[in-house]
């Protein structure tokens, strides 16, 4: 079994162990930390292979299942998938650590931890798969336990309705995506599901006609867009994140939502460059909906968890801006922001879950401020997480957003005589999203943690984060700051791949 197969299948082996009676939490922790070690090993080996100018073929594996069409359980690793694997293993460790002890779970303990492990395994399989069939299948594997966890273990009286809503939304998105992927597969010959064969057909074999590219790209944009919560397909996300158990929200908002973005960069841009160029203006309009319209909606929220849900939707607009730029700088920023947003939103939801457990309510009207006096460690960590989400220097989000904005202006800087295009005007408008983010995030922090402590809160026995509870928060924060101060840690892996892609904006 290769290293990548171990990374993908270790959570599944842990699922089997739990089903056969192994302690659920202990087994999940072993699998999460085991994958952390394997992810670190994969990173070191990939980096050393890249430095030596060699292809890390020992990471690749392919087990033939069908010959016609060619279908293989195949995994591989390049810079883009490596960054997504690192994100997944880090957030998985944090999500399992913040999960409640088995005696505090109301319901099946096995189902709770099995669902978390299946979500992690599905994400890892989708990011590592080099076969179109398993790229799609692993993502579907991760969605099923998401629905169960919201309906059975979520918060609020409407959690079952929310579970059905997200099921319908993402089910429709998956069907639209499947139609687009099948159309892409058959247009490229219908002989092989392997990414390498699809790339070869698109570039040197039988390229897809521009008119057909336009149609398929639009279908993929809608399918991936629903999964990503692209405006106006976003309404499922905020209530789902607000009512899901904290570890589920961390994994879905932090990791699984990036599947659609990963798919656009991995498949839609290199295989359908003419289609991407054709629909660039539409994408620019929709991403402004994420940044400006959803940003203003976020300001209007009166609950912390719902506000963070809308905030997550809003920040997808910046990533789409990097993708829409179509150049190496913008795409590097998009991938870096995928990672930084995944870490920062997981940190925010982890701390919000801990706050809910202590205070009992996340309504701003019920939170009278001043809680930093009672729970200073949580107040400090939440402040850092809020600053990261806003995009302050020193955090990975800042470095990523700077690249995205530079990518938006690169065509104008290269050819100023042409004048400002729709991409540059969109970038200018998107900059206002930074102001919007500062407004809602700083206001929320003030309402919860700053100001005088209310008499009722002063008498309450709120407990600060324990040392064990601080571990996942500090882990995520350290990663955010490491990438913020040294973005080359990840960009060195991503940049060569972005240079090799067929980009419509180059």
pLDDT for the residue 298: 94
Distance CA 227, CA 237 (A): 9
pLDDT for the residue 153: 87
Distance CA 356, CA 378 (A): 12
Between 34-43, 346-355, 449-458, the lowest mean confidence (pLDDT) is in: 449-458
Distance CA 320, CA 258 (A): 11
pLDDT for the residue 458: 52
Between 70-74, 143-147, 294-298, 427-431, the lowest mean confidence (pLDDT) is in: 70-74
Distance CA 96, CA 365 (A): 31
In 3D, which of 286, 291, 277 has the Cα closest to residue 325? 277
Rg (CA), the chain: 22
DSSP SS3 for 99:
coil
Q: Note the pTM of the prediction, 2 decimals.
A: 0.91
Question: Where does the pLDDT of residue 455 fall: very low under 50, low under 70, confident under 90, or very high at 90 and above?
Answer: low
DSSP SS3 for 70:
strand
pLDDT for the residue 460: 59
pLDDT for the residue 504: 42
Residues 161-179: tens digit of each pLDDT: 888 888 888 899 999 999 9
Give backbone dihedrals phi and psi of 188, rounded to 5 degrees, phi first.
-100, 25
Token couple for 309 = 């849900």
Higher pLDDT, 176 or 504: 176
pLDDT for the residue 101: 83
**Mean pLDDT, the chain, integer:** 87
% of the chain with per-residue pLDDT over 90? 53
Residues 348-395: tens digit of each pLDDT: 999 999 998 888 888 888 877 788 888 889 999 999 999 999 989 999
Cβ distance 114 to 15 under 8 Å? yes
Residues 85-128: tens digit of each pLDDT: 999 999 999 999 999 887 788 888 899 999 999 999 999 999 99
Between 129-143, 219-233, 239-253, 440-454, the lowest mean confidence (pLDDT) is in: 440-454
Residues 185-216: tens digit of each pLDDT: 998 887 888 888 888 888 776 778 889 999 99
Distance CA 394, CA 388 (A): 8
pLDDT over 50 at 57, yes or no: no
Distance CA 385, CA 267 (A): 32
pLDDT over 80 at 6, yes or no: yes
Token couple for 292 = 């400006």
Question: Where does the pLDDT of residue 335 fall: very low under 50, low under 70, confident under 90, or very high at 90 and above?
Answer: very high
Which residues are CB-contacts of 346 (< 8 A; sequence separation ≥ 6)?
91, 94, 95, 250, 251, 253, 254, 255, 476
Token couple for 252 = 């879905």
Between 145-154, 291-300, 423-432, the lowest mean confidence (pLDDT) is in: 145-154
% of the chain with per-residue pLDDT over 70? 93
Residues 213-249: tens digit of each pLDDT: 999 999 999 999 999 989 998 888 888 898 889 999 9
- To 10 degrees, the CA torsion angle through 358, 362, 364, 368? -10
pLDDT for the residue 428: 93
Distance CA 282, CA 226 (A): 15
pLDDT over 60 at 35, yes or no: yes
pLDDT over 70 at 74, yes or no: yes
Which runs of consecutive H residues, i.e. helices, occur in 294-450? 294-299, 304-325, 328-359, 376-390, 396-414, 422-449
Helix and strand numbers (H, E) in the chain are 23, 2
Distance CA 136, CA 58 (A): 24
Query: Domain spans of the chain?
Result: 279-506
pLDDT over 50 at 54, yes or no: no
pLDDT over 50 at 84, yes or no: yes
pLDDT over 90 at 326, yes or no: no
Cα first-last separation, the chain: 39
pLDDT for the residue 56: 46
Distance CA 271, CA 279 (A): 14
pLDDT for the residue 60: 64
Distance CA 468, CA 304 (A): 24
Which runs of consecutive H residues, i.e. helices, occur in 99-209? 109-128, 132-153, 159-187, 195-200
Strand runs labelled E in 23-116: 61-66, 71-75
Question: Where does the pLDDT of residue 51 fall: very low under 50, low under 70, confident under 90, or very high at 90 and above?
Answer: very low
Give backbone dihedrals phi and psi of 77, rounded to 5 degrees, phi first.
-135, 130
């Amino acid at each position: 079994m290769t290293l990548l197969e171990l990374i993908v299948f270790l959570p599944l082996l842990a699922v089997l162990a739990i089903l056969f009676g192994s302690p659920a939490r202990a087994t999940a922790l072993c699998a999460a930390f085991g994958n952390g070690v394997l992810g670190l090993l994969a990173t070191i080996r990939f980096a050393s292979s890249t430095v030596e100018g060699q292809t890390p073929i020992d990471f690749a594996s392919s087990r033939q299942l069908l010959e016609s069409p060619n279908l293989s359980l195949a995994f591989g690793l390049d810079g883009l998938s490596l960054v997504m694997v690192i994100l997944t293993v880090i957030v998985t460790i944090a999500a399992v650590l913040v999960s409640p002890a088995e005696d505090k779970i109301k319901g099946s303990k096995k189902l709770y931890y099995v669902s978390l492990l299946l979500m992690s395994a599905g994400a890892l399989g989708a990011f590592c798969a080099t076969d179109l069939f398993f790229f799609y299948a692993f993502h579907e594997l991760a969605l099923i336990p998401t629905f169960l966890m919201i309906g059975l273990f979520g918060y609020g009286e409407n959690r079952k309705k929310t579970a059905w809503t997200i099921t319908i939304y993402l089910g429709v998105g998956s069907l639209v995506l499947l139609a687009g992927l099948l159309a892409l597969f058959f247009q490229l010959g219908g002989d092989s599901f392997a990414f390498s064969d699809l790339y070869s057909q698109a570039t040197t074999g039988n390229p897809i006609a521009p008119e057909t590219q336009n149609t398929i790209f639009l279908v993929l944009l809608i399918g991936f867009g629903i999964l990503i919560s692209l405006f106006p397909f976003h309404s499922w996300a905020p209530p789902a994140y607000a009512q899901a158990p904290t570890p589920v929200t961390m994994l879905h908002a932090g990791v699984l939502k990036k599947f659609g973005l990963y798919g656009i960069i991995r498949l839609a841009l290199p295989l359908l460059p003419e289609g991407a160029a054709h629909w660039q203006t539409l994408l620019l309009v929709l991403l402004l909906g994420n940044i400006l319209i959803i940003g203003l909606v976020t300001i209007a929220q009166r609950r912390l968890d719902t506000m963070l849900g809308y905030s997550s939707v809003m920040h997808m607009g910046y990533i789409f801006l990097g993708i829409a730029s179509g150049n190496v700088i913008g795409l590097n920023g998009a991938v870096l922001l995928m990672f930084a947003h995944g870490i920062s939103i997981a940190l925010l939801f982890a701390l919000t879950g801990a706050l809910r457990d202590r205070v009992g309510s996340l309504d701003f009207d019920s939170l009278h401020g001043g809680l930093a006096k009672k729970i200073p460690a949580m107040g400090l960590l939440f402040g850092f997480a809020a600053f990261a989400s806003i995009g302050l220097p020193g955090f990975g989000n800042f470095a990523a957003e700077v690249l995205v904005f530079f990518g938006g202006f690169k065509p104008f800087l290269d050819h100023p005589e042409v004048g400002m295009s729709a991409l540059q005007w969109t970038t200018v408008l998107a900059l206002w999203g930074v102001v919007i983010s500062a407004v809602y995030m700083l206001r929320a922090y003030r309402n919860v943690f700053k100001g005088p402590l209310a008499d009722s809160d002063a008498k309450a026995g709120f407990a600060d984060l324990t040392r064990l509870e601080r571990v996942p928060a500090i882990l995520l924060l350290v990663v955010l700051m490491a990438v913020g101060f040294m973005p080359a840690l990840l960009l060195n892996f991503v940049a060569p791949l972005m240079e090799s892609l067929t980009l419509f904006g180059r």
